[in-house]
Amino acid sequence: MRVYGLFVKQIWTQLVIVLTATLCFCGVALSQSATTGTVNRDANLRSGPGTNYTITGKAASGQTVTIVDKNDAGSWYQLAEGQWIASFLVNLTTGTPLPAPTSAAATGATAQRAANLRAGPGVNYAVTGVVRSGQALELVGANSDRSWLQLANGAWIAAFLVNQSAAGPATTVPAAPVVPVATATPTAVPAPAGSGNQFVLVQKRLWDVIENGGSLDGPSVRCGLARELLVNVLDANGNRLNGVAVQVEYGARETVVTGTQGKGDGVAEFVLGGGQDVKVIRDVGGAAVTSDVATALSTNPQNIPYEALINAQYCQDEANCQRFVAGNACNGHFSWTVTFQRQR
């Protein structure tokens, strides 16, 4: 009888282990199959999957939400109303599996690299958001020369930053009227008064955290690894100029001719070390020109103005920027875009 009792005890022990493992497995499966959730604290809702997108509403702590999509990383959920919420702000409940992110095959276009979205078809329009490298894009319009493409959310992206499938909607995008630049809020830095140079600096901008390959978790920054200098050169009418020589001032004083690197019309790209200054040195055809100089394009946070760091979301205010700079955060990994425009 004692042997029989030990046998029964062993059988029950094995059954308990099997049942426990089964229940644990089911719990994991259920947690991965939720389309509804509860907001765990008051939260902002945004027009896209990132803090760079416009706040379009609020969700209250305890509110039930229905999730219809997510971004590639699963860090943002799209709600049934079309708005987006950071995934860490939602406690998921059970339901049918979350849909996979929209595929490139469905839209026919993807972002070639991390890039800014703008309020209109041109670099003079305000930055309204960003896209990630490889992100699927839904194209609905284009300007008259198709150098800028409009997305379903109304934002615009430069065409050279988009990989377009031959079978995708990009081949049938209707022409969209160009919004006059004068009606938009310009983000360009005005040229120095009376500089008299043939090429003037009209924009100098530090790339934001996401654009530089990093990410944000509330006020915390995960640094990206890029350290690029992107130079745009425009003619007097705002059109991109190929064949213009652009030169950096330090080190080997590298010279790049716009449009020759496969980066797009009117673009010259350099790798930043500790920092650079840059200017235009020759026009189309090789004639020497006078040019403003874009200075202090640094990859050292201690040499970057707080205003630029705040605009690029590396810090939120002066006190936060002081801590960021004191910690030498992201040192060596900042990127800049500058734009020169011919005046005559």
pLDDT at 242 over 90: yes
On whether both 160 and 38 belong to a single domain, the answer is no
Tokens of 5: 């009792």
Are residues 307 and 275 part of one domain?
Answer: yes
CATH of the domain at 160: 2.30.30.40
Q: Are residues 316 and 211 part of one domain?
A: yes
Which residues touch 17 (CB under 8 Å, ≥6 apart)? none
Pair (261, 164) in one structural domain: no
The residue among 75, 102, 80 whose CA lies nearest residue 90 is 75
Same domain for 316 and 193: yes
Q: Give pLDDT, residue 206.
A: 94
CA angle 81, 77, 207 (to 5 degrees): 110
- Give the pLDDT of residue 248: 94
What are the residue ranges of helices labelled H in 86-243?
A: 104-107
Task: At 208, list the tokens.
Answer: 């934001």
The CA distance from 328 to 245, in Å, is: 34
Question: Is residue 13, in this structure, part of any structural domain at all?
Answer: no
Number of domains composing the chain = 3
Instruction: Looking at the chain, list the stretches that DSSP marks H as alpha helix, in order from N- to C-terminal side.
Output: 2-31, 104-107, 306-311, 318-326
pTM: predicted TM-score of the whole model, two decimal places: 0.50
User: What domain range includes position 39?
Assistant: 18-101
Q: Are residues 196 and 148 in the same domain?
A: no
Looking at the structure, tell me whether residues 198 and 70 fall in a common domain: no
- Helix/strand/coil percent split, the chain, to 5: 20, 35, 50
Are 276 and 338 contained in the same domain?
A: yes
Look at residue 66 and tell me if it is in a domain.
yes
Judge whether 104 and 136 are in contact, CB under 8 Å: yes
List, for residues 121-176, the tens digit of each pLDDT value: 876 676 777 777 778 888 877 777 677 888 877 788 888 778 875 434 433 344 44
Q: Which two three-digit tokens encode residue 113?
A: 């690299």
**Which residue among 101, 127, 143 closes a domain?**
101
Residues 268-323 have pLDDT tens digits of 999 998 889 999 999 999 999 999 999 999 999 999 999 899 988 899 888 889 99
In this structure, the answer to whether residues 338 and 192 fall within a common structural domain is yes
Judgement on whether residues 193 and 301 belong to the same structural domain of the protein: yes
Chain length of the chain: 344
Would you say residue 323 lies in a domain? Answer: yes
Confidence of residue 52 (pLDDT cuts 50, 70, 90): low
The pLDDT of residue 124: 65
Q: Is residue 269 part of a domain?
A: yes
Write a three-state SS string for 326-337: HCCCCCCCCCEE
pLDDT of 187 > 50? The answer is: no
Cβ-based neighbour number of residue 303 at 10 Å: 13
Model pLDDT for residues 68-112, shown as the tens digit of each residue: 777 766 678 888 777 888 877 888 775 544 554 444 434 468 887
| Residue 37 and residue 136 in one domain | no
Q: Residue 337: is its pLDDT beyond 70?
A: yes
- Give the end of a domain, one of 158, 181, 204: 181
Q: 213-222, pLDDT tens digit by residue?
A: 888 877 789 9
Rounded Cα distance between 224 and 30, Å, is 34
113 lies in the same domain as 143? yes
Q: What is the pLDDT of residues 15-38, one digit of tens each?
A: 444 444 333 333 323 233 447 888
- For residue 115, is it within any domain? yes
**CA–CA–CA angle 340, 342, 343 (5° rounding):** 125
Average per-residue pLDDT for the chain:
76
